[in-house]
């Protein structure tokens, strides 16, 4: 597990699940298995269903009769669980974002630090790659995704520059992309800028925000009253979506109201403000610096 990633906010997130020994729980982002391992340790019976769309995590699977692994996207949570005869769950945890394993495995193409194919697929059998996005999307489409998913003010300039580069040759590697937008990269904030560019492409390739919305809707439907929803996010787009959903059951900025003007509030907030990592955890695991943990209980 250690070569995959160090679980972030491990104790805080598992404590937030408020685990009952015989309950049914979901680890929507299995990864290195750190959260699942602690959940199983706190259960005497029950069942734990873990999701991951990356087949590389198979080496991390625990040998436990209470554990069920599903190789698939968590957006299909409800369908997969119904296959196992599960209609209600007692808690769900999701540790969003990209693991250290993905960032540190050059051939997956998630990092601008290595020369690799422009891939960025969580599911290696998925059809859409970053290469396709960069080379085949129209300039307006590229502009929109850099502005929305990367929150980059110079989104149009980035898209237009990529458009110019690809007229000369197809951009097929991370290094080619970095060189293409080099003139736009601020020297004092190179890492931040490139991280946002790559983040935007990764979100598009993996449909991360739409998948998260589907997960949250499914979880809200499947959680029993008193069941816990525990989400760790790593950038403002995810955190804003999770915050809104926990407040009024939707991703929109404004609360959902019924015909009488009453707000729909499916959850009781356990955390009014997100829990963040302490200095010691950040020192041992820099990835924890941007982590935001939110916890809510189904009413």
pLDDT tens track for 93-141: 999 978 778 888 888 999 999 999 999 999 999 999 999 999 999 999 9
pLDDT attached to residue 1:
43
Say which DSSP state 89 is in. E
Confidence bin at 259 (pLDDT 50/70/90): confident
pLDDT of residue 5: 64
Are 145 and 198 part of one and the same domain?
yes
Q: Whole domain around residue 47: which residue ranges?
A: 10-100+208-298
Sign of the C-alpha dihedral, residues 233, 239, 242, 247?
positive
| Contact by Cβ (8 Å): 157, 180 | no
3 band by pLDDT with thresholds 50, 70 and 90: low
Domain closes at, from 180, 206, 232? 206
Q: Is the per-residue pLDDT at 255 higher than 60? A: yes
The yes-or-no verdict on residue 244 having pLDDT over 70 is yes
CATH of the domain at 126: 1.10.150.170
Q: Is the pLDDT of residue 175 over 90?
A: yes
**Residue after which a domain boundary falls, among 166, 187, 206:** 206
Q: Which residues contact 240 (CB under 8 A, 6 or more apart)?
A: none
CB 40 within 8 A of CB 63: no
pLDDT digits (tens, 9 = 90+) for 156-170: 999 999 999 999 999
Task: Please name which of 100, 117, 109, 94 lies closest in space to residue 9, comparing C-alpha atoms.
Answer: 94
**Alpha helices for 75-121 (secondary structure H):** 77-83, 100-104
Q: For all residues of the chain together, what is the average pLDDT?
A: 94
Tell me which of 206, 222, 240 is where a domain ends. Answer: 206
CB atoms within 10 A of CB 6: 17
pLDDT at 2 over 50: no
Q: What is the pTM of this model?
A: 0.94
- Is the pLDDT assigned to residue 295 strictly greater than 60? yes
Q: What is the pLDDT of residues 284-293, one digit of tens each?
A: 998 899 999 9
Q: 259 and 176 in one domain?
A: no
What pLDDT band is residue 4 in, cutting at 50, 70 and 90? low
- The number of distinct structural domains making up the chain is 2
């Amino acid at each position: 597990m250690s070569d995959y990633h160090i679980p972030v906010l491990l104790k805080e997130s598992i404590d937030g699940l408020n685990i009952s020994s015989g309950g049914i729980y979901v680890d929507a982002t299995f990864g290195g298995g750190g959260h699942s391992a602690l959940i199983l340790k706190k259960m005497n019976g029950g069942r734990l269903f873990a999701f991951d769309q990356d087949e590389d995590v198979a080496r991390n699977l625990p040998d436990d009769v209470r554990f069920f692994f599903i190789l698939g996207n968590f957006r299909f949570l409800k369908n997969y669980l119904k296959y196992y005869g599960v209609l209600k769950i007692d808690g769900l945890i999701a540790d969003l974002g990209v693991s250290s394993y993905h960032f540190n495995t050059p051939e997956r193409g998630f990092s601008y630090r290595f020369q690799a194919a422009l891939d960025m697929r969580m599911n290696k059998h998925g059809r859409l790659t970053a290469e396709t996005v960069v080379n085949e999307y129209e300039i307006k489409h590229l502009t929109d995704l850099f502005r929305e998913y990367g929150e980059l003010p110079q989104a149009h300039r980035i898209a237009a520059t990529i458009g110019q580069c690809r007229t000369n040759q197809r951009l097929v590697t991370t290094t080619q992309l970095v060189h293409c937008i080099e003139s736009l990269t601020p020297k004092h904030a190179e890492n931040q800028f490139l991280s946002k560019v790559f983040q935007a492409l990764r979100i598009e390739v993996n449909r991360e925000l739409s998948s998260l919305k589907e997960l949250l809707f499914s979880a809200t439907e499947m959680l029993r009253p008193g069941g816990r929803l525990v989400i760790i996010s790593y950038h403002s787009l995810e955190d804003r979506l999770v915050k809104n959903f926990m407040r009024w059951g939707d991703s929109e900025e404004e609360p959902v109201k019924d015909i009488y003007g009453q707000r729909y509030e499916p959850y009781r907030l356990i955390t009014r403000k997100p829990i963040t990592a302490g200095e010691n955890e950040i020192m041992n695991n820099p990835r924890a610096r941007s982590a935001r943990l939110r916890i809510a209980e189904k009413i």
